[in-house]
Structure 1
Amino acid sequence: MTDFPYIRSDADGDRYVDVAALFAAHGQDAGQVPRTIRLLAEAAARACAEGRLSAAELATAVGWTPQAAGTGQELRFPVGRVVLQDASGLPLLTDLAALRDAVRRAGGDAAQVNPAVPVTMVIDHSVTIEQNRGPGAFAHNLKREAEVNAERYQFARWAAAAFDNLSIVPPGNGIIHQIHMETLVEVVSRRDGWRFSDLVIGTDSHTTMIGGLGVLGWGTGGIEAEEAVLGGLLSLPAPELVEVELCGKLPPGVSATDAALTLTQWLRRQGVVGALLEFHGPGVAALGIADRATIANMAPEYGATSALFPLDAEVLTYLERNGAPREHLQTIRAHLLTDVQPGEGVAYNRRLHFDLDLVIPSVAGPSRPDQRLPLAALPSVIEGPGSPAALPTASDEGLRAGDIVIAAITSCTNTANPDAMITAALVARNALRRGMKVPAHVRTSLAPGSRRVAEYLGQLDLLAPLEALGFAVSAFGCATCVGNSGPLAPQISRQISGRGLNVAAVLSGNRNFEARIHPLVRSNILMSPALVVAFALCGTLCRDLTRDPVGTDAAGHPVLLSDLWPDEAEVRALLGRIGSGPAHFVTPESWTEQAGPVGPFWPWQPGSTHFIEPPFFAPGFSAQVRELAGARPLLVLGDGVTTDHISPVGPIASESETGRYLAAKGVATGRLGTYAGRRGNHEAMLRGTFANARLRNLLADGRDGPWTRHMTSGEIVPVTSAAARYRRDGVAAVILAGDGYGMGSARDWAAKGTRLLGVRAVVARSFERIHRTNLIRVGVVPLRPVTGGLEGIDLTGEIEISSTGLTPLHQPGQAVTLTITSAAGTATLDCVLEARTETELDLLRAGGLFERVRRDFLANAAGPEQDVPESAGMPPGRAAVADPERKIVQDG
């Protein structure tokens, strides 16, 4: 203890970091430091005491000042837990399985490949709303999910038994973020002889939702998460800390969704991309935990790394109502007694002020969450014939522009909020009392964030009115928000395609990127659950519901939104009747029936279309950074390119490159599944990279979708075909883009797919944090033009790109000059390397994280490395039925 005077022991014998003493030992006043930095420094001090972090690195964390942001300094620290969802979690586990095989083949100790921290995976991204109405919808969709994902779930059950520190929440229980809040969150952890503040990362960008409970957490790509899972320390460039002071309270009739969408637009305009936010002020006290979580959930949409609310009495009340054990609550209170109380004038880079009183009913769309509109302006989203506000939806001509074809109450942002859900149910009840119905062309669905939502709605007799309008529980999972909205009726699809209609989806989600919700739906509008119900009844976006009627009652009289909206007192009374107690998980029979292999190694099957041993840990996969010489632009893109543009998540179209590949493997058209479900097959995902139908590439001669011009031949070909030709010819590929490149999900396949295409550099005016770090971790160089971009550069004919200053990699942000040669001559583009820390430089020097991990695990291997065989399966006789029930999260 003498070397670490700030390490104390509590009454239970566990060590903890005395944060005040830690900062005092470094000449700092902890009361003048943002809580986010205190939490990171606490974690760093624990790692230092364990010998995993140097004293100098700890001093950097403790010595953070606002002036450190952007200097290239970095903070290194361990995380306490990792949470996964299946769409990104299964690829991570696939990589671990492949790493085990690589270590085994090289004669190393494969048993070392194990999670070093607790990891929980929630299976929530796989369910599709095939049946959307009726009492049998949930059972049908759950059964269908098990059939389509049988091999994926066999792999998940194998992994639960094969890896230490891994547990799994089976399908049919809810969305990762709400389950995280209700049951997985620790707030304060006791583990390995330590008591420490909960610090969590997740492979879903909306892991930030846990900030509503005062817990620091954020989303990472699966590649970065692998590093933490294997016991590595995470690294952040010395961050910008921004305080957001909230004042006032939300007016009556204004929801937390309205506040979240308004803040998303406002904070995006304030330029908080990559910043760590802390919410304080009197307005916080006026927000319940669910309201705070709704705002924190949207941090990826406003670009922040994290969004931290206070750890106050509201948090303890929430945990107690959700059945937290008394002993755990005592641990939290004991830890809080040793916490630092902030003083006056805490040091932040910026302070922002936001007045909740000024929030008005809002929606966002048609293709980004920051495109907030006041409710009255929604009709302006629809352009073209048939868009006046008074346009009727029923006519002999069928569908019209602006008609709503999908209305979904879905996703973690809103179905985690009892206030929002009760309000929606009361709108449905009031509509039924007036004899109102949802038009036939609207496909309705309800996918609550957890079973608790259905339980309290049932207790309050509020499920029935939702079901009567078509909002029966059809899933406990992400569903429509990740594009698993299910099929539209054939006659609806024919009208949209045949007449080129701009139709709409309304959803209570957090993402509405182009072609994400449904490939035929161009306008996707985010809104509160109650407004989803109202617009489902209305049937069109082309009506101003602040003044125009939602519809008519049974007698033909107009019904306004104000006629349906419940009184706030009634909502509060119903909220007070919600029971307390721990959440329970249910294990579906379809899950326990999934027999599969056992043993430490996954038996890769040559004929599998879900799991193929990936090449990432094979010798020679990673290549060190070299100067670009004669490189070709694969894509030239504009602003706002999202991870959905780069690596779609939704259904695989039969006419797509991936669809044709799967068909050649014998997969029937109706079983192609989704890109999210094929992430264990790198051949499928390679073909799905840049497969978004709304992709706009300036090299494609005006053709939207996955097309580009092959530079040598001049032909317009699929992106994957051009990339394959460049790889065959030994030519490096480059992507050129505008602002906000990679906004959206923490999707490692957006980077993995880019790397597999042969792309060696991405040049963009600005990058979203997660995607930038993902690119570095697969060995793709991110470059940012110092001024301007592609203006004045001729994009016709052949284009070649070369670089100077890229090697050697000697410092973060080093200058790199690109020479772009086209038919019009030669232009230069001065850039900076968007590797911001020494850790990121080291990753690029190594060729990416996979190569560094491979070397670390093979450092003491006994034999020579071998290439990945076509089938690296188990020896005969090793397959058996797995029984990993000890690792599956069960009821209670």
Structure 2
Amino acid sequence: PGSPYQLVIEALTNYPQKRFYNVSKLGGTKYDVLPYSIRVLFESSIRNCDGFLVKETDAMNILDWKTKQNNVEVPFCPARVVLQDFTGIPAMVDFAAMREAVRNAGGDPVKVNPACPTDLTVDHSLQIDFILKNQEMEFGRNRERLQFFKWSSKVFKNISIIPPETGMAHQVNLEYLSRIVFEVKDFLYPDSVVGTDSHTTMVNGLGILGWGVGGIETEAVMLGMPVTLTLPEVVGCELTGTASPLATSIDIVLSITKHLRQADVAGKFVEFFGSGVSQLSVADRTTIANMCPEYGAILSFFPVDNVTLKHLKHTGKDEISVMEAYLKAVKLFRNYESSSREPEYSQVLQISLSSIIPYVSGPKRSQDRVAVNNMKSDFQACLNEKTGVKGFQIAVEKQNDIVPVQYEGNEYKLSHGCIVIAAVISCTNNCNPSVMLAAGLLAKKAVEAGLVVKPYIRTSLSPGSGMVTHYLSSSGVLPYLSKLGFEVVGYGCSTCVGNTAPLPEAIRNAIKQGDIIACGVLSGTKNFEGRLCDCVRANYLASPPLVVAYAIAGTVRIDFETEPLGTGFNGKSIYLRDIWPTRKELHTVEEECVISSMFKELKEKMEKGNKRWNSLEAPESALFPWDLKSTYIRCPSFFDKLVISPQAIENAHVLLYLGDSVTTDHISPAGSIARSSAAAKYLTNKGLTPREFNSYGARRGNDAVMTRGTFANIKLLNKFIGKPAPKTIHFPSGQTLDVFEAAELYQKEGIPVIILAGKKYGLGSSRDWAAKGPFLLGVKAVLAESYEKVHKSQLIGIGIAPLQFLPGENPNTLGLTGREQFSILFPPELSPGMTLDIKVSLHTGKVFSVIALFENDVEITLYKYGGSLNFVAQRFL
């Protein structure tokens, strides 16, 4: 009412029962020059405008993107959420706990369900313990978690659980979950998604707007709340020319990654256009979009075009004609033959595909590309260079050292550059059929030529989904990969996250004794030093066929043009060119094998599940029957007090006094559980042995473990302690304790705690337990010089007040030691950016003012309710 704008709801031409918001009429000529990705944001703001979470001014700011980019924050309500199990389980545990809280407060727990459609894929639990029986071990080790997921799938509306053995979250998202256009009761709108993994960006290759966010933001979306982002710049990336026949999708990805990293697209949208785009398959596009985290963009968007529609027909998507008609009606369909006006971008980059040649990337960073024909000389240069991002600083007289080693009854010789890990892994790059088939065809030709892989090289094949195994099998190349040691070990994150079976002891010893620069080669996205294995110092990213080729060669110190891979039958030297598959061969096999039947098979697998999952028993009660003995699933205490209005913080002690650039890695529990940690003590008291501890990731559904792992990083530098250690001082007793033990004492004594910090508190990747953990430790406020924006929002989302010193002030200028007791009184009515009315009083009598970093009414409302979880719990009541 009173708005000068009218929302235009229309019937779709030729489909009168289908209706939609024709936002292009609302925007006029402004809309016609918006980047396609911004048009999706605009439609979402119109459809979800409620005057509180999404306001009319938000929609108009998006429409005025050209002048408002970087200057305003806007809300975004995605159409759906994708979770993987590590980050999904705490979200589902919170929903189960919320049902408990609503019941205890006299409400109907059955009403507690995700407001936004949510899909959870159980895929990140896999560890390569043994080459065989990984799935049996998966079900055995994680039965409690899987039973909880099974219960969730039965009782919650608006959520689906994709069981183990189905595939990676990203792959299933692309092949099955993606809608392109959502349809709810004959109402149409664009598909969009946020997920709890940085590689959610893959879906942008399908023309679906999506990116990865933290667990707390994801839970907020599941609860019906928007994600807030600064209206981004949009970089137009024009692709021209034609790629070399020998260049794979991975080569194109690495080349584009380098260009975009150099162009500084961090925190921006990237949108692709130009004649080169139509030459890229959807698999190519999703591979490029997948690399967003490596060049820092929020997302890389490929608008839907004819190539996308052709791909969707092969996948068996329904009503593609409706989809096409809708996208054209709201001007979200990209027609490269049309003379319509191009969108206006913040800046335009040009990349010629013709300049792209085969590359690998390494030895320590994904952005350090090395042309394959320069690999031998580049590795030699790395041996000579000083220790750094590329150098290893090996003395000249030791660069040709050879260490003999006995393995399985034979003697082998290790030298600098020898390959000990070769993995075609479950990373999302493997979604591209052409590169996977190329690896298989190369393996077939290699075996037929008599080539082998040395048995000590730890080889593995972990496809991104069952579909990959299907086409590798149906094309007849899977047995040849197996013969070279590339056995399918399972579906899920493995080598890429360090879950590699240990190297043979003899090989490890030889590497360490000879100080050998051993190498890993993998077709993934992560290759930091020591990530694959602590004794493997050089790691290269390569396309799947090159991983197989280097495994056969056994070393990176080879010039494929002039040196043979090895000796085949009859002593014949075999070169890479002899076994490299041609594009024609690849095209023929792809046409025969990557067909709609595979997508049909995945659909059947998704709908029917598997025997182990189907036979898994789980309760069907509306409330989850918590097992008090469980060490994996526990009801958290987030809902112990459903209060409205911020509570005064009186006589709080400082739990930790931290410096600048404290990251979420310092705060959040991650990795293995150290035997001397508070979490280990808890598990030991529960009767577990160290080999049963598992990891913090696997125990994210147990708040007792996760709280004990908060601030448990051995590199945490607490000024009270003076050296890196996960320790602090409990001031009432004067004891030096683990952070958890001190916090536990404070809570028993009824004493609130706060954290003092310097600049850029909460840097790093977005992690839900970086906020949840401090909350459960009893932290009521953080007082810092400045914050990383996402983490600041997460603190508010969990009910912790983010307070900031006034400009020019900090603990030193104010003469704070951290040993004082702090009282903070909030006024009855908060308003964004309040300063003078937020007073901090010390027990010494000193008083100073701080800034409460609440930027809008929504953040203030969430804080008053004790965070987003409690806010929504109150709404259910």
> Shorter-chain-normalised TM-score: which range?
0.7 to 0.9
Question: Structure 1 residue 483: deviation in Å?
Answer: 3.7
Going from structure 1 to structure 2, the CA distance change for 1:51 and 1:770 (only over 3 Å counts) comes to: closer
Equivalent-residue separation in structure 2 for 1:18 and 1:595 (angstroms): 47
Going from structure 1 to structure 2, the CA distance change for 1:806 and 1:565 (only over 3 Å counts) comes to: farther
Question: Structure 1 residue 21: deviation in Å?
Answer: 1.2
Counterpart position of 2:695: 674
User: Is 1:599 matched with 2:621?
Assistant: yes
Counterpart position of 1:21: 25
Going from structure 1 to structure 2, the CA distance change for 1:595 and 1:286 (only over 3 Å counts) comes to: same
Question: Structure 1 residue 230: deviation in Å?
Answer: 2.4
Instruction: State how 1:193-232 maps to structure 2 within 5 Å.
Output: 193-232=186-225
What secondary structure sits across from 1:316 in the alignment? helix
Question: Structure 1 residue 329: deviation in Å?
Answer: 0.9
Question: Structure 1 residue 296: deviation in Å?
Answer: 0.8
Counterpart position of 2:84: 85
What secondary structure sits across from 1:29 in the alignment? helix
User: Is 1:350 matched with 2:347?
Assistant: yes
RMSD: 4.5
What secondary structure sits across from 2:303 in the alignment? coil
Question: Structure 1 residue 427: deviation in Å?
Answer: 3.2
What secondary structure sits across from 2:276 in the alignment? helix
Question: Structure 1 residue 151: deviation in Å?
Answer: 0.7
Question: Structure 1 residue 171: deviation in Å?
Answer: 0.8
User: Is 1:452 matched with 2:428?
Assistant: no
Question: Structure 1 residue 531: deviation in Å?
Answer: 2.9
2:433 aligns with one of 398, 406, 418: 418
Of structures 1 and 2, the one scoring higher in RCO (CA 8 A, sep 6+) is 1
Equivalent-residue separation in structure 1 for 2:835 and 2:67 (angstroms): 20
Q: Residue type of the partner of 1:672? A: F
Instruction: State how 1:493-504 maps to structure 2 within 5 Å.
Output: 504=519
Going from structure 1 to structure 2, the CA distance change for 1:218 and 1:364 (only over 3 Å counts) comes to: same
2:170 aligns with one of 144, 164, 177: 177
Instruction: State how 1:317-356 maps to structure 2 within 5 Å.
Output: 317-325=310-318, 328-340=319-331, 343-344=340-341, 346-356=343-353
Question: Structure 1 residue 556: deviation in Å?
Answer: 7.3
Name the stretch that deviates more: 849-858 or 414-423: 849-858
State whether residues 669 and 706 of structure 2, in contact with CA within 8 Å, keep that contact through their aligned partners in structure 1.
Answer: no
Q: Residue type of the partner of 2:92? A: L
Going from structure 1 to structure 2, the CA distance change for 1:217 and 1:831 (only over 3 Å counts) comes to: farther
User: Is 1:749 matched with 2:769?
Assistant: yes
Name the stretch that deviates more: 594-603 or 94-103: 594-603
User: Is 1:850 matched with 2:869?
Assistant: yes
Question: Structure 1 residue 382: deviation in Å?
Answer: 5.9
User: Is 1:383 matched with 2:392?
Assistant: yes
Instruction: State how 1:256-405 maps to structure 2 within 5 Å.
Output: 256-325=249-318, 328-340=319-331, 343-344=340-341, 346-365=343-362, 369-374=366-371, 376=375, 377-378=378-379, 380=382, 381=390, 383=392, 385=394, 394-395=404-405, 404-405=419-420
2:639 aligns with one of 613, 617, 623: 617
Long gaps (5+) in structure 1: 822-827, 859-892
Q: Residue type of the partner of 2:11? A: S
Q: Residue type of the partner of 1:124? A: D
Equivalent-residue separation in structure 2 for 1:439 and 1:530 (angstroms): 17
Counterpart position of 1:56: 56
Name the stretch that deviates more: 450-459 or 547-556: 547-556
Aligned residues: 827
What secondary structure sits across from 1:16 in the alignment? strand
CA displacement, residues 215-237 of structure 1 (integer Å, 9 cap, x when unaligned): 11122222222222222333333
State whether residues 358 and 371 of structure 2, in contact with CA within 8 Å, keep that contact through their aligned partners in structure 1.
Answer: yes
Instruction: State how 1:876-887 maps to structure 2 within 5 Å.
Output: none
Instruction: State how 1:227-242 maps to structure 2 within 5 Å.
Output: 227-242=220-235
The TM-score with structure 1 as length reference comes to 0.81
Going from structure 1 to structure 2, the CA distance change for 1:726 and 1:339 (only over 3 Å counts) comes to: same
State whether residues 550 and 561 of structure 1, in contact with CA within 8 Å, keep that contact through their aligned partners in structure 2.
Answer: yes
Name the stretch that deviates more: 75-84 or 312-321: 75-84
User: Is 1:148 matched with 2:167?
Assistant: no
The TM-score with structure 2 as length reference comes to 0.82
Equivalent-residue separation in structure 1 for 2:75 and 2:855 (angstroms): 13
Long gaps (5+) in structure 2: 335-339, 383-389, 407-411, 843-847
Question: Structure 1 residue 780: deviation in Å?
Answer: 5.1
Going from structure 1 to structure 2, the CA distance change for 1:684 and 1:5 (only over 3 Å counts) comes to: closer
Going from structure 1 to structure 2, the CA distance change for 1:57 and 1:576 (only over 3 Å counts) comes to: same
CA displacement, residues 57-83 of structure 1 (integer Å, 9 cap, x when unaligned): 454355332332333x33234322222
Q: Residue type of the partner of 2:798? A: V
Equivalent-residue separation in structure 1 for 2:219 and 2:832 (angstroms): 25
Identity of aligned residues (%): 35
What secondary structure sits across from 1:440 in the alignment? coil
Q: Residue type of the partner of 1:687? A: R
Question: Structure 1 residue 351: deviation in Å?
Answer: 2.8
CA displacement, residues 869-888 of structure 1 (integer Å, 9 cap, x when unaligned): xxxxxxxxxxxxxxxxxxxx
CA displacement, residues 627-681 of structure 1 (integer Å, 9 cap, x when unaligned): 9987465555769x5x666546555455554344323312233333232221101
Equivalent-residue separation in structure 1 for 2:626 and 2:531 (angstroms): 31
Q: Residue type of the partner of 1:440? A: P
CA displacement, residues 296-337 of structure 1 (integer Å, 9 cap, x when unaligned): 112233222222102001111111111223xx2122122123
Q: Residue type of the partner of 1:600? A: A
What secondary structure sits across from 1:471 in the alignment? coil
Counterpart position of 1:9: 11
Going from structure 1 to structure 2, the CA distance change for 1:213 and 1:849 (only over 3 Å counts) comes to: same
Equivalent-residue separation in structure 1 for 2:807 and 2:456 (angstroms): 49
State whether residues 425 and 495 of structure 2, in contact with CA within 8 Å, keep that contact through their aligned partners in structure 1.
Answer: yes
Counterpart position of 1:43: 44
Question: Structure 1 residue 261: deviation in Å?
Answer: 3.3
Counterpart position of 2:601: 584
Question: Structure 1 residue 111: deviation in Å?
Answer: 2.0
1:774 aligns with one of 773, 777, 794: 794
